[in-house]
Amino acid sequence: MTIEFETPKPITQQQYVLKTVADNMMRPHSRYFDENEHEIPWDYIKFMHQAMKASGAGSLAPKDKKKEDPNKPKRPPIGYQMLAHMLEVLSWGDTGMYLITPGGGLGAAAVQSAGTTEQKKKFLARFMGEKPTFAAMCMTEADAGSDTSKIRANAVLDEETQEWVLNGEKIFVTAGDKALTEYEEAGQGFIVVWATIDPEAGRAGMRSFVVEAGTPGVKVMKMEHKLGIRASDTVTIVLQDARVPFENILGKPTVEKTTKGFKGAMATFDATRPLVAAMGIGVARAALEFVQEKLAEEGVEIRYGKPRNTLTSIERDVIDMEVMVRSAWLVTLKAVWMADNQKSNALEASMSKVKAGDVGPKVTQKAIEILGPIGYSREFLLEKWFRDAKITDIYEGTGQINRLVVARNLLGYRGSQLR
């Protein structure tokens, strides 16, 4: 099985539509929602919800199997590839606004990776309902950032009621407010909370729990004010004796000697880290194209194919920026292709995240340097893209952590051997 570099027709068609959305519903409003942090662009959200419903792009719920025609050639799976292209284009439009696009995000990805068929039908189908719906992942704690083994949020089974009782505090939850707040305009969202059912068992005791909006004992306590992606909410959530049904646990409710349950949950990131990389690449491409446009307006030509020592400094910089963006995109395409074809992609997923996490800040910073005052000015969006780009290196595993994952996979070390 080989990787095809030609973009599948369904993705090409999707890109045309999404580029129109980015041009007309995102770019014109980027500055407003950056300056009015946490104000919700309901017009964009409602439009995207209806568009995703019409196309089926928002559905992660398992479909009823139909008898296949044995004579009809099977189409290669392209679900994650389609998502990567979608995120790249929408992040080219505006990363902060993309992050509040209705859908499951990391929360739905966790259910998709670790949930049963019944759980997927129950929780994922709601994203195709009448109202836009949101989900979020709650993992980070004050003393448990990159080292998830230190998570102290706990879940205790009430034997009498057969409910899980959750207690703990989660910080830096992306889209947590929209997932939990019962807006009149939105459907019932949920969060996926990482907690331990046995603190002595370490990672073997870690489990994920689906906690629905409206659950007593769950509160949004703080909304962060951020450097970038300001249209997206990032919050602190406190769980105090929050009760969830027994069947809302993702994975086995018993502790085994292995860390299989933890590894199953971590598989979520093998699927989503390349998608985060695609977001960073979209921002970098926006900055690169803006620089190329402004240089062309001034009559500056980039002479491709000439010896490097004969090029101007600006020509070399622009070509280097193009190389960074394209190479990051190729690594990302490989990672999502592997995810689609159910191949182990932990190495490639972290590689794409590391690469894009570097490329986004470097390309946007170099773009500002090339354009000088107009790059630094708030008259244009370039300085905003510079602020937005850095998050790619931080969330869903920092650049440092993903470098460790890459090194361990390449060298054959366990986590305990290379830290």
- In this structure, are 165 and 276 located in the same domain? no
Structural domain including 144 reads 132-258
- In this structure, are 366 and 404 located in the same domain? yes
Neighbours of 50 (CB within 10 A): 14
- Of the candidates 93, 88, 409, the one whose C-alpha atom is nearest the C-alpha of residue 274 is 88
**Site of tokens 């992660």:** 60
Give CA–CA dist 34/253, Å, rounded: 43
Q: What is the DSSP letter of 45?
A: H
Pairing verdict, β 206-212 and 249-250: antiparallel
Give CA–CA dist 375/367, Å, rounded: 7
The pLDDT confidence band at residue 264, using thresholds 50, 70 and 90, is low
The pLDDT of residue 245 is above 80: yes
At 246 the pLDDT is 97
The pLDDT of residue 75 is above 80: no
Asked if 90 and 22 touch (Cβ cutoff 8 Å), the reply is yes
Give CA–CA dist 317/367, Å, rounded: 9
Instruction: Report residue 375: phi and psi, to 5°.
Output: -75, -35
Indicate the residue among 211, 232, 258 that finishes a domain.
258
Give CA–CA dist 48/132, Å, rounded: 9
- In this structure, are 164 and 290 located in the same domain? no
The pLDDT of residue 257 is above 90: no
Q: What is the DSSP letter of 232?
A: S
Tell me the per-residue pLDDT of 191-238, one tens digit each, with 9 for 90 and over. 999 999 998 888 888 899 999 999 999 999 999 999 999 999 999 999
The pLDDT of residue 65 is above 80: no
Pairing verdict, β 190-196 and 135-138: parallel
- In this prediction, what percent of the chain has a pLDDT beyond 90? 74
- In this structure, are 238 and 170 located in the same domain? yes
Using left for φ > 0, alpha for ψ between -120 and 50, and beta otherwise, residue 304 falls in: beta
- Quick one: tokens of 352? 């794409």
Q: Which of 141, 212, 348, 396 is catalytic?
A: 396
- In this structure, are 241 and 377 located in the same domain? no
Task: Count the domains in the chain.
Answer: 2
Neighbours of 161 (CB within 10 A): 11
Give CA–CA dist 276/393, Å, rounded: 9
At 62 the pLDDT is 58
Give CA–CA dist 397/268, Å, rounded: 12
Is residue 118 assigned to a domain? Answer: no
Please state the rounded mean pLDDT for residues 132-148. Answer: 90
Please state the rounded mean pLDDT for residues 45-53. Answer: 91
- In this prediction, what percent of the chain has a pLDDT beyond 70? 92
Tell me the per-residue pLDDT of 339-357, one tens digit each, with 9 for 90 and over. 999 899 999 999 999 999 9
Strand partners, 222: 236
CA atoms within 13 A on the CB side of 90: 24
- In this structure, are 266 and 352 located in the same domain? yes
Instruction: Report residue 219: phi and psi, to 5°.
Output: -135, 140
The pLDDT confidence band at residue 284, using thresholds 50, 70 and 90, is very high
The pLDDT of residue 252 is above 90: no
**Site of tokens 């290379």:** 418
Indicate the residue among 209, 240, 258 that finishes a domain.
258
- Known catalytic residue at 396: yes
| Global pTM value | 0.91
AA letter at 365: Q
- Of the candidates 254, 256, 219, 246, the one whose C-alpha atom is nearest the C-alpha of residue 165 is 246
Tell me the per-residue pLDDT of 81-110, one tens digit each, with 9 for 90 and over. 999 999 999 999 999 999 999 887 888 888
- In this structure, are 275 and 407 located in the same domain? yes
- In this structure, are 296 and 404 located in the same domain? yes
At 270 the pLDDT is 87
Give residues with Cβ within 8 angstroms of 144, minimum separation 6. Answer: 150, 151, 152
Give me the chain's average pLDDT, please. Answer: 91
At 377 the pLDDT is 95
Please state the rounded mean pLDDT for residues 260-281. Answer: 80
Give CA–CA dist 14/10, Å, rounded: 6
Is residue 14 assigned to a domain? Answer: no
At 58 the pLDDT is 52
The pLDDT confidence band at residue 151, using thresholds 50, 70 and 90, is very high
Is residue 126 assigned to a domain? Answer: no
CATH of the domain at 240: 2.40.110.10
Question: What angle, rounded to 10 degrees, do the helices at 260-297 and 105-114 form?
Answer: 140
Q: What is the DSSP letter of 186?
A: S
At 158 the pLDDT is 96
Neighbours of 184 (CB within 10 A): 5
* Helix (H), strand (E) at residue 397: none
The pLDDT of residue 298 is above 70: yes
- In this structure, are 289 and 306 located in the same domain? yes
Question: What angle, rounded to 10 degrees, do the helices at 346-371 and 382-389 form?
Answer: 150
